Amino acid sequence: MPRTSARPHHNVTFAVLLLGIVAYSLLQSLVVPVLPTLMEHLHTDQSTVTWLMTANLLSASVATPILGRIGDKIGKERMLAVTLTALAAGSALAGMSHSVGLMIVARVVQGFGGAVVPLAFGIIRDEFPAAKVRGAVGAAAAMTAVGAGLGLVVAGPIVEHFDYHWLFWLPMALTALATVATHLFVPESPVRTPGRINWGAAALLSAWLVALLLAVSEGERWGWTSGRVLGLFAAAAVLAGCWIRVELRSDAPLVDMRMMRVPVVWTTNLVGLLLGAAMFTTMTFLPQLVQTPAGVAGYGFGASVTRSGSYMLPMTAGIFALGVLAAPLAARFGSRRVLIGGSVIATAPFVLLAISHDRPWQIYTASALVGAGLGLAFSAMSAIVVEAVPPSQTGVASGMNANIRTIGGAIGSAVAASILSSGITAAHPFPRDSHYTGTFWFLTVTALLAAAAACTIPAARRPRRLHAAPAPGRVTAG
């Protein structure tokens, strides 16, 4: 079916974008609650199976800003189709996998789907009426967290009623549908950024991100003071410095350092780092807590994978409901105040869990409050970034914000893993209850710091040009 020459209604485009976002977000989290099941079926060990998460994290961290920037230059619709195709291919490969090595490769390919989010934000800014951009970006941002939460809920039933291959077949079908719909109903980008792609900067960006995230992800297993981990941290620092130097000297930077220095952008990215730590850590370790057998560990609920997903359902519902409400609230009170409010709300559940987490109602209540806070915060945060930069920088700016959230998630999860594993012995193979308490206090401090950082975000201003050269004009494609 050929593409129509008329531009589709923006709501049709929006529905297609949400489908792609949900498919990617599902694949991020579906494997989290079923890692023990995958370890058994793939005949591997705990340290190897965790690479199903690490490989995807590393791939997404590299691909997200680079593909977002390429989309700014050659067309966001075109790169969205390429990204969704890679995501579908990775899902198909994972669905056919019977070895952990092949599945790790598939997870690397799936990581390219991380660019769906910044590309979608850029398309929304290009296609929507100005008055509707904030609400659409907020809803799309909320759907990233909704999809991730939904993955935790449906993973158990999928594995119990089918098998682990369907964890990837079902998202593959959604992604394939989104790919076809993108070609048919997402118009070609009217805004392009002229110039070449700085592949040297892309290589340096990839190198320091991989070094940093590999050190953070493997620090607990390798030892935080081991030569490998310290060497990776040192390499990340040196490579990041080289990357910044190259970008500052480039006539066509991959990531404009002037943009990253804009107060609205860097303060919002700081909030993203902290809230990313809170969200990813919660999604990783709260299911682990409720799955712990109380008769053995002295705490927990001994929940099945399916039952543990039900504890996360209020969080998913809260993210969706408050993510939708964030736009009208931002229109009335401003995105900055909504972000502050969301960060404050997200603090309360961690205080509750730190005080006590031995009753189901406490888990359900905390899950709902986390969802409400993150739904408001993520929607407002994405809107702030998109509104703060010129249209030609939307893809890379939102891509870096998403990337920084991922880095925060990796750091938060690593810190939590260190706290929880410090008391594990052969005689006591589960984390001690006091270490879960310590983890929740750590998340409390993280959310409070996010609220404090949100208070430093300057009031919204009209986006200004970031280059001395004239701003690029709109280029109508095809």
Q: What is the CATH number of the domain that holds 383?
A: 1.20.1250.20
Write the CA distances from 352 to 288, 339, 412, 416, 418, integer angstroms: 18, 21, 19, 17, 22
Angle at 436 between CA 440 and CA 420, to 5 degrees: 115
Domain boundaries, position 240:
198-253
User: Is 272 in the same domain as 235?
Assistant: no
User: Is 263 in the same domain as 245?
Assistant: no
Residues for the chain: how many in total?
Answer: 478
- In a domain, residue 441? The reply is yes
- In a domain, residue 238? The reply is yes
Write the CA distances from 401 to 49, 118, 287, 471, integer angstroms: 28, 9, 26, 23
In 3-state terms, what secondary structure has residue 343?
A: helix
Write the CA distances from 80 to 66, 114, 122, 148, 247, integer angstroms: 13, 10, 10, 20, 25
User: Is 91 in the same domain as 55?
Assistant: yes
Supply the pLDDT for residue 62: 83
- In a domain, residue 364? The reply is yes
In 3-state terms, what secondary structure has residue 410?
A: helix
Upper half-sphere CA count for residue 282 (Cβ side, 13 Å): 37
Residues 6+ apart with CB under 8 A from 352: 362, 365, 366, 369
Token code pair at residue 258: 């002037």
User: Is 160 in the same domain as 235?
Assistant: no
Q: What are the φ and ψ backbone dihedral angles of 233, each rounded to 5 degrees?
A: -60, -40
Please tell me the distance from the alpha carbon of residue 77 to that of residue 95, in angstroms, as a whole number: 27
- In a domain, residue 468? The reply is no
pLDDT digits (tens, 9 = 90+) for 121-131: 889 888 888 88
Q: How far is C-alpha 205 from the geometric centre of its chain's CA atoms?
A: 18
- Residue 165 DSSP symbol: T
Residues 6+ apart with CB under 8 A from 365: 314, 349, 352
Which of 228, 253, 278 lies at the terminal end of a domain, its last residue?
253
Token code pair at residue 256: 């404009």
User: Is 50 in the same domain as 153?
Assistant: yes
Residues 6+ apart with CB under 8 A from 184: 1, 3, 4
**CA nearest 334: which of 380, 366, 373?**
380
User: Is 246 in the same domain as 318?
Assistant: no
Which of 211, 237, 253 lies at the terminal end of a domain, its last residue?
253
User: Is 245 in the same domain as 147?
Assistant: no
Which parts of the chain register pLDDT below 50? 1-2, 4, 462-478
User: Is 131 in the same domain as 203?
Assistant: no
What Rg do the C-alpha atoms of the chain give, in angstroms?
21
- In a domain, residue 466? The reply is no
- In a domain, residue 179? The reply is yes
Number of domains in the chain: 2
Q: Which residue has the tokens 């990041």?
A: 240
**What angle separates helix 100-110 from helix 76-96, to the nearest 10 degrees?**
170
Please tell me the distance from the alpha carbon of residue 474 to that of residue 269, in angstroms, as a whole number: 28
Please tell me the distance from the alpha carbon of residue 64 to that of residue 396, in angstroms, as a whole number: 8
Supply the pLDDT for residue 478: 34
Token code pair at residue 244: 């910044």
User: Is 40 in the same domain as 148?
Assistant: yes
User: Is 151 in the same domain as 209?
Assistant: no
User: Is 41 in the same domain as 126?
Assistant: yes
In 3-state terms, what secondary structure has residue 8?
A: coil
Residue 249 · residue 198 · CB < 8 Å: no
Please tell me the distance from the alpha carbon of residue 426 to that of residue 435, in angstroms, as a whole number: 17
Please tell me the distance from the alpha carbon of residue 14 to that of residue 29, in angstroms, as a whole number: 23
- In a domain, residue 32? The reply is yes
Residue 23 · residue 87 · CB < 8 Å: yes
Alpha-carbon dihedral sign for residues 394, 182, 66, 71: negative
Please tell me the distance from the alpha carbon of residue 412 to that of residue 274, in angstroms, as a whole number: 8
Upper half-sphere CA count for residue 39 (Cβ side, 13 Å): 13
Which of 209, 228, 253 lies at the terminal end of a domain, its last residue?
253
Q: Which amino acid is at 475?
A: V
**CA nearest 215: which of 65, 421, 54?**
54
User: Is 319 in the same domain as 344?
Assistant: yes
Write the CA distances from 178 to 18, 83, 123, 462, integer angstroms: 9, 11, 15, 34
- Residue 189 DSSP symbol: P
- In a domain, residue 220? The reply is yes
Q: Which amino acid is at 351?
A: V
